Amino acid sequence: MQNKKIFILLPDGVGLRNFSFTNFHKIGIHKGFDVIFWNNTPFDLTTLGINEIKIKNAKSHPMTDLLKNAQIQIELNLNIKRSKDTVYDYYRFPFSYANLKSALKSSYKKGLVFWNNSNKGLERVRKRIVENERKTKLYFDSLETLQKEKPDFIFCTNQRTMLAVAPILAAQDLGIPTATFIFSWDNLPKATKIVETDFYFVWSDHMKAELLFYYAHIKEFQIRVTGTPQFETHTKKEMLVSREDFFKEYNLDLNKKYICFSGDDITTSPNDPQYLADTAEAIIKLNEKGHHLGIVFRRCPVDFSNRFEAIMSKYSDVITSILPKWEKKGEAWNDILPTKEDLILQMNTIYHTEFVINLGSSMVFDYVSFDKPCAYINYNVPNSHFPNWSVSNIYKFIHFRSMPSKDSVFWINHPNEIESCIEKVITNEGKEIIVNAKKWFEKINQHPPELASERIWTAIEEIIK
């Protein structure tokens, strides 16, 4: 009997880390599937021993971006109406009026929202996206590929990319079952689901409940709880290098213990340089007390700005920057691609540092995978150059409400608390924090985390039977 052929649709680089740099494809092959990546990224997957079919010159319909943005605004409006909670306003990006073209686009999007601001209107917008995408060259190219290859199942690696819509529609029009993966823990409240598939793969029961809440047209039988491959490799101890080798490669001092400061992008945390400086000042004070400490700074992989240069220069004796090993293939954030080497680098950075300080990222789960805590920055910078930004807005986001206990992280509510926070960690006073963080992780992601790919393939197997 011929093996079932599974297409893994990579509409952009977001899915590379989860599905190309893990053992995901090998597990599929071991289960007897013919696994082919339908690849719309610049990355050559054949270098990893993965069979691929390249998608060439993919473009969505010119109207799809406008419709997608209107869809997001309408969904956020409906979420507010449904939940009586205005927190969803914080997920909005402001309309741009920088020039005539952007002003016209913004006016058109506002008009779309005004005339379609209801459940029926939302259906109209979705229908228009489908109608327009069926007219694109990408749709007809996808039809041609699928008719030639005859896959038994299409698995899309994320739900938010416009360039996934036409290939998914082509598959559905040919009667090929489709699924998409919800790729991040905060995506569903943000109304980022643009792809409509037959099945949905989610991280946890918590995310399943979110999907049912936000998208009433999706039924429970369409959802599979699998976990995410994002954390799988943290159990692969063979990927770790010795302390001596790691410290030598990155010019770290073997006599010091290091904490990690993990940066955010400039939109999420515009005051990160000051937070890094505050952390460096705390380290200096602790070293004056006789400690031997340093900072490993891992910047956000999609942040190529020069905003940290002055801080790095001023505190060069305290801060060591270890740049993520991502590759910039274009100017858009999703054109900056991860590499397998960075996955190994991130693991070793976690393993060889004591804990992580950042502003509200999922690094809390990466660190607790190694039984290490996280500290969340929770204060505003006086006289900031970003007066319209506030840290309080960050922690209002829906995904932080999933914490089973507020003591799942250390909270740094003022710069003068950084010093005591670090002291607590290096004297092993963070055990309760780690216990609570593990409970949070178990709620957010199906456990055991190392079996996520296995569960995904089992679900695909069940569906195509």
Any residues with CB less than 8 A from the CB of 59 and at least 6 apart, and which? Answer: 136, 137, 138, 163
Kindly indicate whether the domain formed by 235-444 is annotated with CATH number 3.40.50.2000: yes
pLDDT band at 109 (very low <50, low <70, confident <90, very high): very high
For residue 56, pLDDT beyond 60: yes
* Closest CA relative to residue 214, chosen from 191, 231, 242, 197: 191
pLDDT score of 334 more than 70: no
Mark 298-335 as b/e (b = at least 16 C-beta within 10 Å).
Answer: bbbbbbeeeebeebbeebeebbbebebebeeeeeeebe
- The pLDDT score that the predictor gives to residue 336 is 76
Residues 6 or more apart whose Cβ sits within 8 Å of residue 168: 9, 154, 156, 178, 180, 195, 196, 197
Q: Indicate the pTM of the whole model.
A: 0.95
| Tens-place pLDDT, residues 113-138 | 999 999 999 999 999 999 999 999 99
The answer, yes or no, to whether residue 339 has pLDDT greater than 80, is yes
The amino acid occupying position 426 is I
Same fold, 5-60+136-228+449-464 and 235-444: yes
Tell me if 464 sits within 8 A of 152, measured CB to CB.
Answer: yes
Looking at domain 5-60+136-228+449-464, its CATH architecture is 3-Layer(aba) Sandwich (3.40)
Q: What angle separates helix 119-133 from helix 165-173, to the nearest 10 degrees? A: 80
pLDDT in tens, 284-330: 999 999 999 999 999 998 888 999 999 999 999 999 999 999 887 76
Can you give the pLDDT at residue 2?
A: 77
- Condensed to tens digits (0 to 9), the pLDDT of residues 200-258 reads 999 999 999 999 999 999 999 999 999 999 999 999 999 999 999 999 999 999 999 99
Map out the domains of the chain as residue ranges.
5-60+136-228+449-464, 64-132, 235-444
Under 8 Å CB-to-CB from 294, ≥6 apart: which residues? 252, 253, 256, 257, 258, 259, 283, 318, 319, 320
